[in-house]
Amino acid sequence: MVTDNDLVKHLSEAQVSVELQTEDMTLNIGPQHPSTHGVLRLVARVSGERCFDVKPVIGYMHRGYEKLSEVRTYPQITALINRIDWVSGYANEIPFIVAAEKLMDVEVPERAQYIRVILTEMARVSSHLVFMASYPLELGAATPLFFALRDRERVLDLIEGVTGGRFHPNFNRIGGVKPNAGSGPITKKTPQDLPAGFLGETRDAMSVVLDTCEEIEDLVAGNEIFRARTKGIGVLPPEVGAAFGVSGPNLRASGVKFDLRKVEDYLPYNKFDFDVVVGENGDCWDRWWVRLEEIRESAKIIQQAVDGIPPSGPLQAKVPKVIKVPKGETYVRAENPKGEMGYYIVSDGGPGPYRLKIRSASFSNISILSWILEGVLVPDIIAIMGSLDFVLGDVDR
């Protein structure tokens, strides 16, 4: 029988545990989310606002480019690969075309190369302007979006004027660029290359772009809140970045002075005078700032190219009508806006490649996510992911 004494003794010995058992919450960020640049899914274990463990899940947009290119001819592949990194459409084609031209030992005429440089740098300006637009939006500032995209429209209009497409130009041909603007009765007789007035309009557009850079720098760079949200957040040491394969502005923001445009010879960048922009700490602020400065450098390159372009010349070298690339293997890489993009072509002498390996920049760029997002706060996840500037098409190919 339980007496009162027993009960009192029991109660006095009872251990009152005041520690509440809290559990971590597993939060699924994506695949449908305003800030994941596409269908990226992050499975995050969060406790309050701090996240312990982030696992990215990719592949929601895997389109099987490498398998597809095994059943396509080389000109057909150029139509496909624009769509890998759809923000900078033209730049995706360049390493592939250069690789094929290397295997075929074809010399590209100079005017075509200048046009390629102009369009590639325009693609870079366009891609970085999208970053300028979307990154402050993820942090909450809605206005730079409109300024950057308004002036990106000018650049896209120029690209469309030359190539016919804003995002997917499909303008490269093996041996140069597309020689004829059309095949109607008038255009067949007068092969046109650049539309009339293109060079003057490009100069105007680049000065407008430089003004926009000033505007965005005023609006965003001096903002105390922006600095507080990005300085010191998501620091990427250069050795870790190199081991993961991070390339492009992300690695340059960590202090590594390495730009494929200076090192590789896929396009005649040695004729132009531009600086390689390097950051200091490798945090989100540096990654933002490096891309802003790269827009300015690209505008410089475009202006020099427009001034120096040979006034006339063939647009495509003589290549046979049915392209058959001789046997061989080569790897060509280029400095894409997102990073290093490369194509490894294994050719067997047929109309299409035996194997095409696409090294896309964003795939390696976001493989650091589980390393860099350990122990950060939830708003910082968005800030860091945004600063890496990736595109899901590039990640998932």
Partner 1 sequence: MTQFITDLFSNFWVSLAGKLLLVATMVPVIGMLLGFAEMKLSAKMQSRVGPYFAGGRWGWAQLIADGVKFFQKEDLIPEDADRPVFKAAPILVLVGTVSLFLVIPFGPGLIFQDLSVGIFYALAISSIGTIGVLMAGWSSANKYSLMGGLRAAGQLIAYELPLVLAVVGSVIMAGTMSMTGIVEAQISAGFPFVLVQFIGFGIFMIAALAELSRIPFDMPIAESELVMGYVTEYSGFRFLFFFLAEFANMFTMSAIAATLFLGGYWLPFVPESTLEFTGPLILIGKVFLLTFTMIWFRWTFPRFREDQLQTLAWKVLIPLALANIAITATLKVVL
Partner 2 sequence: MTSSPSDTEAAVHRLQEFADSAAEAVGGEAEVQFDTIKLRVSADKWVDALTTARDDLDLVFFSWLSAIDWANDVEAGDPLKEEIEERIELLCTVCDLTEGRRVTFSTDLPTEKPSVASIVEVYVGANWHEREAAEMFGITFEGHPDPGPLYLPESFLGNPLKKSYPLLSREVKPWPGTVDVEAMPEKASTENPEA
Q: Residue 13 CB, nearest distance to partner 2 (Å)?
A: 48
Q: Residue 142: which of partner 2, partner 1, none does it interact with, CB under 5 to 8 A by kind?
A: partner 1
Q: Are the C-beta atoms of residues 177 and 75 closer than 8 Å to each other?
A: no
Which residue in the set 8, 228, 243, 263 belongs to the binding site for partner 1 (CB under 8 A)?
228
Whole-angstrom Cα distance, residue 82 to residue 97? Answer: 12
Closest of 136, 172, 97, 146 to residue 291, by C-alpha:
136
Q: Residue 62 CB, nearest distance to partner 2 (Å)?
A: 4
Q: Are the C-beta atoms of residues 382 and 35 closer than 8 Å to each other?
A: yes
- What are the DSSP E strand ranges found in the chain? 25-29, 41-47, 50-57, 172-173, 176-177, 328-336, 339-347, 355-359
Q: Is 198 in the site for partner 2 (CB under 8 A)?
A: no
Q: Are the C-beta atoms of residues 247 and 339 closer than 8 Å to each other?
A: yes
Which residue in the set 56, 89, 136, 248 belongs to the binding site for partner 1 (CB under 8 A)?
136
For partner 1, which stretch binds (CB under 8 A), given 14-22, 137-145, 241-249, 265-273?
137-145
Q: Is 281 exposed, middle or buried (0-12, 13-18, 19+ CB in 10 A)?
A: middle
Contacts 24+ apart (CB under 8 A), 154-159: 154/205, 154/208, 154/209, 155/122, 155/125, 155/126, 155/129, 155/205, 155/209, 156/126, 158/122, 158/198, 158/201, 158/202, 158/205, 159/89, 159/90, 159/119, 159/122, 159/123, 159/126
- What are the DSSP E strand ranges found in 14-154? 25-29, 41-47, 50-57
For partner 1, which stretch binds (CB under 8 A), given 73-81, 85-93, 226-234, 349-357?
226-234
Q: Residue 375: which of partner 2, partner 1, none does it interact with, CB under 5 to 8 A by kind?
A: none
Which residue in the set 87, 94, 133, 256 belongs to the binding site for partner 2 (CB under 8 A)?
256
According to CB under 8 A, which residues from 19 to 38 bind partner 1? 25, 27-28, 33-35
Q: Is 342 in the site for partner 2 (CB under 8 A)?
A: yes
Q: Is 221 in the site for partner 1 (CB under 8 A)?
A: no
Consecutive H or E run containing 227: helix 224-230
Cis before 31 (ω within 30): yes
Q: Residue 71: which of partner 2, partner 1, none does it interact with, CB under 5 to 8 A by kind?
A: partner 2
Closest of 361, 363, 354 to residue 91, by C-alpha:
361
Q: Residue 245: which of partner 2, partner 1, none does it interact with, CB under 5 to 8 A by kind?
A: partner 2
Per-residue binding string, partner 2, 32-71, x by CB under 8 A, is --------------------------xx--x-x-xx--xx
Whole-angstrom Cα distance, residue 396 to residue 43? Answer: 18
Bridge partners, residue 173, by sequence: 176
Q: Which CB atom, from 90 or from 363, has the smaller least distance to partner 2?
A: 363
Give all strands of the β-sheet with 339-347 in edge-to-edge order. 328-336, 339-347, 355-359
Q: Residue 268: which of partner 1, partner 2, none does it interact with, CB under 5 to 8 A by kind?
A: partner 2
Whole-angstrom Cα distance, residue 138 to residue 390? Answer: 14
Q: Is 348 in the site for partner 2 (CB under 8 A)?
A: yes
Q: Residue 64 CB, nearest distance to partner 2 (Å)?
A: 7
Which residue in the set 340, 380, 389, 394 belongs to the binding site for partner 2 (CB under 8 A)?
340
Q: Residue 154 CB, nearest distance to partner 1 (Å)?
A: 13
For partner 2, which stretch binds (CB under 8 A), given 18-26, 173-181, 209-217, 263-271?
263-271
Binding residues for partner 2, per CB under 8 A?
58-59, 62, 64, 66-67, 70-71, 73, 98, 101-103, 107-108, 113, 239-240, 242-247, 251, 256, 258, 260, 263-268, 270, 327-333, 340, 342, 344, 346, 348-352, 354-355, 357, 359, 363-364, 367, 371, 396
